[in-house]
Structure 1
């Protein structure tokens, strides 16, 4: 399901180790043959859906940019594989790079497209871009991470700013291995309301996205772990810093003042040769909800203005 009435469909995605036929579900805002370079938006998580980044279709209205949203494999309306829970050899960064390659090819845009990756989507997107894929024109890394250790370090510092009772509850459950308890989930909401999305009540896209993740957290559990700063999954050792110099497209990096992706996290992306960094002073992890007018103007101008 989607909040927006957009044309949508599936593309087949062959994954030999999946043991069954897989598909990627996508949505399109605008006309792919309009003459304007289409933008593919890769959502975060890993394990979220397109729903919380669906507001990027605003770029179609403001800048005439065709926008492609999609649910990554294991999530939303794409193929779910709960039987692969805990299988770190299956849920790899390369799997999602292959899925993105397949999507742009099947949609017929592989000769020219832009890519925006939010959070984990930017981790995958930067790993995708260092391979210098044919057709990639511009890259946006929104509140993303080049080295997971930086994200964990920033998370620990932000945790110290939480109320003492919240800190104590988080520490108790992480030490006891009871991070699947309702008590832990409730106190984590305090962290999320400060450093993930400061808009309250939560936007409907966020709520719908959370509902999907509650139904199946296979990908998040395997690759990330129980929470945003208690990283126990396969991404714990993620580090693309040494390869960032290989990115050969103009890149925009964004983050917020209260973001889990603090300045100390995103500054590693300045190793990209052609890069612009924009900071959002009133936002946390989701400036597209917290400062939408400024955010979409900056992203839209970046994608359409050849002077960048």
Structure 2
């Protein structure tokens, strides 16, 4: 999954470029922007923000959500990656979805962003997060007639696992840039990605990892130009979009290391053996799998996912990497909007 670490503070000074041209379609003519933009919340208006209280085995906590727009047929809940990043890198959606009348909901998972952080690794658990998503769904009154779930990277693991248990509540599922097997992901990293790297650079990275010297500044100095700017986000690191830098700078390192492990190549945390490839045929709701040519995830595996679920579609981002909502933005957003609209009737 995406390998987000606090070393992204190196590039926090970058600014988001908003010059991407939005697509105009005939569907836009039917969008009732007055209804879309109307805040129907009772009481004092706070911009669509709703704090959801969740129950956990260790008590009650609050998680933060924010709704953009109104659409009774399409309500898209966004699950960010990391694990441990924040909703903020999804802010690029604001340049595309409102003009199409698509309602979407930001959500910071427990321990991230604007939500409570219990500072206890016992909470960093996939099955617990699945139950958290279900409680958020109930609080936001999302159901099988309107509830779409998009999970990116680690969020893709969470979204798929949620669907296996609660797909009766879903209208559609989007798995963005995440393979359905941590084991297959590790193999792809070793057999394909590592071999694309300068052998001397790779040897030094492996040496640092073998010594568990992950705080060594040299580690990130090697990874940023040789791995991140090739497979995470294919832009000059000094020009990375501001929402991406802002989100990554806030990553919860405890959550990241507990789930992902400290290494930037492969998994060694709780998710190390996660694999649901044999369970994919159980997913029957319309499912969009998004893969990219230069991703940390094998695009052929992402294509394969669409053949394993009962009602799958594949979106290929030819120019993109792991953050293809930025580096192949037109393809990503057009494909996402097309899927949402075609399955919303």
Tell me the TM-score normalised to structure 2 length: 0.80
> May I ask how many residue pairs the two structures share in their alignment?
295
Inter-partner Cα distance in structure 2 for 1:162 and 1:7: 45
- 1:236 alignment partner in structure 2: 272
Please state how far the C-alpha of 1:48 moved relative to its aligned partner.
1.1
Match of 1:210 among 244, 248, 252: 248
Ranges in structure 2 where 5+ consecutive residues have no aligned partner: 1-15, 17-45
Structure 1: how far apart are the matches of 2:221 and 2:53?
38
Task: Summarize the Cα distance change of 1:71–1:171 in structure 2 as closer, same or farther, 3 Å threshold.
Answer: same
Per-residue CA deviations over 1:104-139 (Å, capped at 9, x if unaligned) read: 111112343111111111111111112243330011
Q: Which runs of 5+ in 1 are unaligned?
A: none
Distance 1:265 1:229 in 2: 18
* Residues in 2 aligned to 1:21 and 1:136: alpha-carbon distance in whole angstroms: 25
Match of 1:166 in 2: 201
2:169 is the counterpart of 1:139: no
- The residue number in structure 2 matching 1:11 is 52
Residues 49 and 245 from structure 1, CA distance in 2 versus in 1: closer, same or farther, beyond 3 angstroms?
Answer: same
Q: 1:23 aligns with which of 58, 62, 66?
A: 62
* 2:127 alignment counterpart: 94
RMSD, matched Cα: 2.0
CA distance in 2, matches of 1:81, 1:163: 41
Determine the C-alpha separation between the residues in 2 that align with 1:113 and 1:163: 45
Alpha-carbon spacing, 1:306–1:107, altered in 2? closer, same or farther (3 Å): closer
Alpha-carbon separation, structure 2, partners of 1:30 and 1:160: 45
TM-score scaled to structure 1, two decimals? 0.90
Alpha-carbon separation, structure 2, partners of 1:192 and 1:11 = 34
Aligned to 1:126: 160
Sort the Cα spacing of 1:305 and 1:230 in 2 relative to 1 into closer, same or farther, 3 A: closer
- Seen in structure 2, the aligned counterparts of structure 1 residues 47 and 9 have a Cα distance that, compared at 3 Å, is same
Question: Are the equivalent residues in 2 in contact too, given 1:38–1:66 (CA < 8 A)?
Answer: yes
Residue in 1 that maps onto 2:186? 152
Q: Is the 8 A contact 1:44 1:119 kept in 2?
A: yes
